Amino acid sequence: MKFGLFGGATAAAAPSQAASERLLLDQPEDSHSYGAFIDAIVEAESLGFHSIFLVEHHFTGEAQVSAPLNLLTYLAAKTSTIRLGTGVIVIPWHNPVLLAEQAATVDVLSNGRFDFGVGKGYRPREFEGFCISIQESAGRFEESMTLIKKSLSSNERFSFHSDRWNFEDIVVEPPPVQKPHPPMWLAAGRPDSLRYAANGDYSLLLDQFATFDVTLERFAIYREAVEASGKSFDPMNVAVARGMHIIRSEEEREIAINRRMAALDHMNQMAKSNDAGYQTSMTSDPDLRKAAEQGTLIGTPEEIIDRLKQLQDGGVEYILLAGVQMSPPQMRAFAEEITPAFT
CA distance 160 to 18: 43
Q: Which amino acid is at 20?
A: S
For residue range 81-94, list pLDDT tens digits in order. 999 999 999 999 99
pLDDT in tens, 74-132: 999 999 999 999 999 999 999 999 999 999 999 999 999 999 999 999 999 999 999 99
Flag the least confident range among 21-30, 159-168, 239-248.
21-30
> Is the predicted pLDDT of residue 241 greater than 90, yes or no?
yes
Write down the pLDDT at residue 278: 64
| pLDDT tens figures, 208-228 | 999 999 999 999 999 999 999
pLDDT of residue 78: 98
> Considering its fold, how many domains does the chain have in total?
1
Report the distance separating Cα 71 and Cα 169, nearest Å.
31
**Is the confidence at residue 301, as pLDDT, over 60?**
yes
What's the CA gap between 331 and 321, in Å, rounded?
9
Read off the CATH number of the domain in which 188 is found.
3.20.20.30
Say if residue 279's pLDDT is above 90. Answer: no
Return the SS3 of 109: helix
How far does Cα 135 stand from its chain's mean position?
Answer: 22
Alpha-carbon gap, residue 334 to 304, rounded angstroms: 9
**Whole-model pTM over 0.95:** no
Angle of helix 191-199 versus helix 212-228 axis, rounded to 10: 40
What is the span of the domain harbouring residue 12?
2-342
Mean pLDDT of 243-249: 96
**pLDDT, tens only, 20-29:** 444 444 444 4
Q: Dihedral, CA atoms, 320, 280, 25, 118, nearest 10 degrees? A: 40
Name the pLDDT band for 285 (thresholds 50, 70, 90): confident
Residue 268 pLDDT > 90, yes or no?
Answer: no
Strand partners, 298: 245
* Average pLDDT rounded to a whole number, residues 277-295: 84
